């Protein structure tokens, strides 16, 4: 997409392009990362966004040289339009989850870590009560919902074998695509842009102490190296807080760890912080990472470097940003290639490739450990849940380049066949 430029910012598009195809109907499109939106003038007008509208905290309204909004909204600025979009009804949310559940079962998933909002949690409870929840769900809590959740006395791991409360989700920065991930050094070709740090170490520590006092694990989104550094600084203080107050060492994690300063590589393991990462991001983002981060990309999606530091890896997909198919993730982790074979047989920064066994461990036992369920999930073994899938192909015998093609022929959860091809 092309558009009018804003000094110091890369613009992905502008309202005029959307006006040409939808001049009267408001349009709101999210970027793949979900950290930026593209809107037309009808949407800007409905939201009351004009040249005088200030940037919200931790957000950017991109503007042209005259200060006029271009139609690109980054981070919290997305909410200015997003909040006026009519919300789906509870029945619509429930129906959508039912369809999504069938899709997830078909690619071989038996459980998910969900980061959607309270409307999703309500729908999941209704499905569970009706006996129609067929996949296990660990439900994260948002920062804005923490007070109400604590007022009810809820904690991480409250629930049952099918639906339970997970971590408190926080955001330390933005994303690579809109160049809002918080960086220690500027983005390539944009010397004034260090991204957006949504929460610094002190802010994370303040919220984190409240969460820890009430038994909540933390899951903190951090993509840029500055954000990861800030989160690790906060976790260092929070681990000391747990120890000083004789509190249990909780299962805290960093979501994404997409690029990390080499000096911080060993800190996750030393602090017992889980690296919750999504392998499909690497082949999907590699060209963009090289363009915006340059040589720093050698420390991006650094699975092997983190594993060698004894970091606990928990792999997932970040769906709907990427496909939820775990075999796509296995392919990315083992080959560091796109499915069309690019950038070549060796892969992108091949020193970060994982052996298939290590990647499988991260998708199974690693994810179970992050959920606090490693004693009953993540293995096919006695006394573990009968959650498993049936495959035609053996992942260990087919060429690594074909891993993404694997499709389950049946999925079992709790001893029941819940999906069959």
C-alpha to C-alpha distance for 351 and 41, rounded to whole angstroms? 47
Phi, psi of 141 (to 5 degrees): -110, 140
- Report the alpha-carbon distance of residue 280 to residue 304 in Å, rounded: 15
Of the candidates 216, 221, 310, 291, the residue with the CA atom closest to the CA atom of residue 258: 221
Domain 90-379, CATH number (from 3.30.2290.10, 3.20.20.140, 3.40.50.300, 3.40.50.10470):
3.20.20.140
Which sequence spans correspond to the domains of the chain? Answer: 15-82, 90-379
Residue 32, token pair as written in the block:
């793949």
For the full predicted model, state whether its pTM sits above 0.85. yes
Cis before 415 (ω within 30):
no
Give the integer Cα–Cα distance in Å for 341 and 339: 5
Q: Which pLDDT tens digit goes with each residue over 131-158?
A: 999 999 999 999 999 999 999 999 999 9
Among all chains, which residue has been given the structure tokens 């461990």?
Answer: 361
Residue 9 confidence (pLDDT):
47
- pLDDT digit string (tens) for 170-193? 999 999 999 999 999 999 999 999
* Interval 13-69: pLDDT, tens: 899 999 999 999 999 999 888 899 999 999 999 999 999 999 999 999 999 999 999
């Amino acid at each position: 997409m092309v558009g009018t430029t804003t000094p110091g910012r890369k613009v992905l598009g502008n309202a005029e392009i959307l006006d040409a195809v939808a001049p009267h109907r408001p349009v709101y499109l999210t970027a793949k990362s979900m950290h930026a939106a593209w809107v037309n003038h009808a949407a800007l007008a409905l939201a009351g966004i004009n040249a005088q509208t200030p940037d919200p905290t931790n957000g950017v309204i991109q503007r042209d040289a005259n200060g006029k909004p271009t139609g690109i909204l980054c981070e919290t600025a997305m909410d200015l339009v997003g909040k006026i979009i009519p919300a789906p009804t509870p029945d619509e949310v429930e129906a959508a989850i039912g369809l999504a559940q069938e899709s997830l079962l078909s690619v071989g998933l038996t459980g998910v870590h969900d980061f959607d909002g309270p409307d999703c949690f309500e729908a999941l409870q209704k499905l569970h009560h009706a006996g129609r929840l067929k996949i296990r769900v660990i439900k994260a809590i948002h920062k804005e919902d923490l007070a109400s959740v604590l007022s009810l006395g809820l904690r991480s791991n409250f629930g049952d074998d099918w639906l339970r409360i997970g971590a408190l989700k926080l955001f330390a920065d933005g994303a690579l695509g809109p160049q809002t991930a918080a960086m220690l050094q500027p983005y390539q070709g944009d010397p004034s842009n260090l991204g957006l740090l949504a929460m610094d170490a002190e802010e994370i520590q303040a919220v984190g102490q409240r969460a820890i006092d009430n038994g909540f694990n933390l899951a903190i989104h951090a993509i840029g190296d500055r954000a990861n550094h800030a989160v690790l600084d906060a976790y260092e203080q929070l681990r000391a807080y747990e120890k000083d107050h004789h509190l249990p060492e909780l299962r805290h994690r960093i979501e994404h760890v997409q690029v990390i300063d080499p000096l911080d590589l060993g800190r996750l393991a030393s602090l017992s912080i889980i690296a919750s990462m999504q392998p499909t991001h690497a082949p999907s983002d590699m060209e963009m990472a090289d363009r915006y981060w340059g040589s720093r990309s050698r420390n991006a999606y650094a699975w092997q470097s983190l594993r060698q530091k004894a970091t606990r890896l928990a792999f997932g997909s970040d769906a709907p940003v990427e496909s939820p198919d775990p075999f796509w993730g296995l392919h990315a982790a083992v080959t560091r290639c796109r499915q069309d074979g690019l950038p070549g047989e060796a892969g992108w920064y091949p020193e970060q490739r994982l052996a298939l066994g290590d990647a499988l461990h991260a998708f199974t036992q690693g994810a179970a450990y992050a959920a606090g369920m490693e004693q009953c999930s993540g293995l096919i073994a006695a006394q573990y849940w009968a959650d498993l899938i049936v495959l035609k192909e053996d992942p260990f015998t087919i060429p690594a380049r074909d891993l993404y093609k694997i499709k389950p022929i049946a999925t079992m959860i709790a001893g029941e066949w819940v999906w069959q091809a």
